């Protein structure tokens, strides 16, 4: 049983002084002393993320980030784009939908909607609802098929010229770079990942529209394949060679698990920030508190870690405004 001393608790709770708030950083500074539950956690996450960014590019430091695809259907994509553009992260783990939304929004627009719209009526008009975002068919599947299938043919032709085993080593990292090399829009996440050769790992590559395009290409070229174990070699190399590993994990699922899974082989993450709305009581990874990963050896016992309970499309812009404004 832990023992406590009253002298362990000497920081008083202070009220907000809004007259002293000039910018987002000032607001978060006051959150840190005002308390109020999640406000304090957000302030700690800001400080940890700031240190993580300061260490970007240092020898032996690997900064991981994971997030779900839905956020890239919103303007929150801009947060991730800035991290990649500025080389503040070394590796991204996400889901197939991130590729879908990034490519689709590169060539078409998504639109504001509402959670309470009539989904039957929307479907009859070819309008897909993602929360309160509206995605017309022509802005998603149709444009992706029109763009990606010809690109896959180009990629295959290029790789067959350069290798007798064109698909050996062609995992999702190479796929993302090959797609990004064909994009000329600096508003694309794939564009910047390809430009800086930052790995994007998609463990569930078949679960999305791009995955469907890969399957369709396979019908035309039966030898085509995605070498997913090549991605695992990249994750393994990053884990085994890193002297320090930091992670920002947004949401949970396969993306979060892939980050902590590979870092267990080096004794766990050295710092970890999580953002999630999921509860802990159902046993899901999305709801699992970061301290649980310590028991698995996926986060070091001494590692600073914080989970901010909140919706990421609100939390990440606040952190971005505090840390990324130039």
195 in catalytic set = no
Mean pLDDT of all residues in the chain? 96
What is the DSSP code (8-state) at residue 299?
Answer: B
Q: What is the pLDDT of residues 171-188, one digit of tens each?
A: 999 999 999 999 999 999
Burial class (CB in 10 A: 0-12, 13-18, 19+), 71: buried
pLDDT on residue 164: 85
Give this prediction's pTM. Answer: 0.96
What is the arithmetic mean of pLDDT over 219-226? 96
**Which is higher by pLDDT, 66 or 162?**
66
Torsion of CA 263, 61, 243, 203, to 10 degrees: 20
Residue pLDDT, tens place only, 7-44: 889 999 999 999 999 999 999 999 999 998 999 999 99
- Phi, psi dihedrals of residue 205, rounded to the nearest 5°: -65, -25
| Res 163: pLDDT | 85
Domain contains 257 = yes
Taking the C-alpha atoms of residue 31 and residue 42, their distance in angstroms, rounded to an integer, is: 8
Strand partners of residue 130: 133
Q: Tell whether 7 is covered by a domain.
A: no
Nearest-10 crossing angle of helices 253-263, 228-241: 50
Owning domain of residue 278? 46-107+137-314
pLDDT tens-digit series, residues 238-272: 999 999 999 999 999 999 999 999 999 999 999 99
Give domain status of residue 249, yes or no.
Answer: yes
* pLDDT at residue 180 in the model: 98
Tell me the pLDDT band of 1, cut-offs 50, 70 and 90.
low
The whole-angstrom separation of Cα 180 and Cα 81 is 13
- Specify if 145 maps to a domain: yes
Q: Is 113 inside any structural domain?
A: no
**320 within some domain:** no
Tell me, yes or no, whether 120 lies in a domain.
no
pLDDT given at position 157: 95
Considering its fold, how many domains does the chain have in total? Answer: 1
Residues 88, 68: Cα–Cα separation, whole Å: 19
Mean pLDDT of 207-227: 97
> Which position has the higher pLDDT, 163 or 218?
218
CATH number at residue 80: 3.40.910.10
Percent of the chain with pLDDT over 70: 100
291 within a domain of the structure (yes/no): yes
């Amino acid at each position: 049983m832990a023992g406590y001393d009253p002298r362990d608790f000497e920081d008083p709770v202070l009220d907000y002084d809004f007259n002293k708030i000039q910018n987002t950083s000032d607001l978060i500074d006051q959150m840190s002393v005002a308390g109020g539950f999640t406000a304090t956690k957000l302030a700690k996450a800001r400080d940890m993320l700031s240190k993580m960014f300061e260490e970007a590019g240092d020898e032996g430091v690997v900064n991981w980030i994971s997030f779900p695809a839905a956020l890239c259907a919103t303007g929150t994509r801009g947060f991730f784009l800035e991290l990649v553009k500025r080389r503040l992260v070394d590796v991204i783990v996400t889901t197939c939908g991130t590729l879908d939304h990034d490519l689709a929004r590169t060539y078409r627009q998504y639109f504001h909607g509402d959670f309470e719209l009539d989904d039957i009526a929307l479907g009859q008009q070819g309008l897909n609802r993602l929360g309160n975002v509206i995605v017309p068919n022509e802005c998603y599947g149709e444009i992706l098929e029109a763009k990606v299938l010809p690109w896959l043919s180009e990629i295959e032709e290029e790789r067959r010229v350069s290798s007798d085993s064109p698909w050996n080593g062609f995992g999702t990292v190479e796929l993302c770079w090959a797609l990004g090399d064909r994009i000329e829009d600096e508003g694309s996440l794939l564009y910047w990942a390809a430009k800086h050769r930052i790995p994007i790992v998609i463990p569930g590559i078949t679960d999305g529209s791009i995955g469907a395009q890969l399957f369709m290409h396979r019908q035309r070229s039966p030898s085509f394949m995605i070498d997913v174990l090549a991605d695992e070699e990249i994750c393994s190399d990053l884990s085994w060679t890193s002297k320090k590993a930091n992670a920002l994990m947004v949401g949970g699922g396969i993306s979060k698990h892939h980050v902590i899974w590979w870092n267990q082989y080096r004794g766990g993450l050295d710092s970890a920030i999580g953002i999630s709305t999921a509860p802990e009581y159902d046993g899901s990874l999305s709801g699992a508190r970061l301290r649980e990963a310590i028991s698995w050896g996926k986060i070091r016992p001494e590692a600073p870690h914080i989970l901010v309970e909140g919706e990421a499309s609100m939390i990440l812009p606040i952190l971005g405004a505090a840390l990324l404004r130039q």
